[in-house]
Amino acid sequence: MASVLILNGPNLNLLGTREPGIYGAQTLKDVEALCHETAAGLGLTADCRQSNHEGELLDWIHQAGADQAAGHLIGAVLNAGAYTHTSIALHDAIKGSGLRVIEVHISNVHAREPFRHHSYLSPAAAGIVVGFGTEGYPLAIQGLHRLASAAQS
Ligand code: CA2
């Protein structure tokens, strides 16, 4: 069975513990359960990971590119947190690995501080889901599945 990789970056382990007005009340565990359920409905398994370390995210993206090329993975849903706005390294990893990535943000970053308006990842992403709260994750998995299926046919 093919899988979908769900990557969450820095501070997303704090979901549901603070700032519910911005990020909602669901914990990361709740979000991951939603991803497992969505993936199962599409005949996929979800591999959910979170890291506060840029290098670990880079390593996972590199490996995922190889897994996608081998046909084991349809791509990744990536909420890179604040690295979205700072990391040329993540941009280069997505491009260099060939990984199909849907960029997700729980909040509508464009309605927030100006420093959140620019993403280094968007030009490398296959799609973007922003501002749907944690429902953005199932939406991104569904969109990724459709893109991957279309690429096969
Ligand atoms: O809206 C999103 O999903 C973000 O990627 C979340 C990042 C933020 O830096 C991006 O600009 C937008 C922050 C994740 C931190 O999450 C927390 C959750 C609860 C309490 C504190 C932080």
> In order of start, what are the domains of the chain with their CATH numbers?
3-77+88-93+103-146 (3.40.50.9100)
How many angstroms separate the CA atoms of 96 and 111, rounded? 31
What global pTM score does this model have? 0.98
* pLDDT at 4 (0 to 100): 98
Query: What's the 149 CA to ligand 1 centre distance in angstroms?
Result: 30
Ranges of the chain with pLDDT below 50: none
* pLDDT at 113 (0 to 100): 98
* pLDDT at 137 (0 to 100): 98
Q: Are 65 and 97 in contact (CB under 8 A)?
A: yes
Give residues with Cβ within 8 angstroms of 136, minimum separation 6.
Answer: 104, 105, 106, 129, 130
Ligand 1 atom closest to the CA of 20, numbered from 1: 19
How many angstroms separate the CA atoms of 18 and 102, rounded? 25
Find the catalytic residue in 105, 120, 137, 145.
105
53 is catalytic: no
* pLDDT at 153 (0 to 100): 83
* pLDDT at 71 (0 to 100): 97
Which ranges of the chain would DSSP assign to H, the alpha helix?
20-23, 28-41, 54-69, 88-97, 136-152
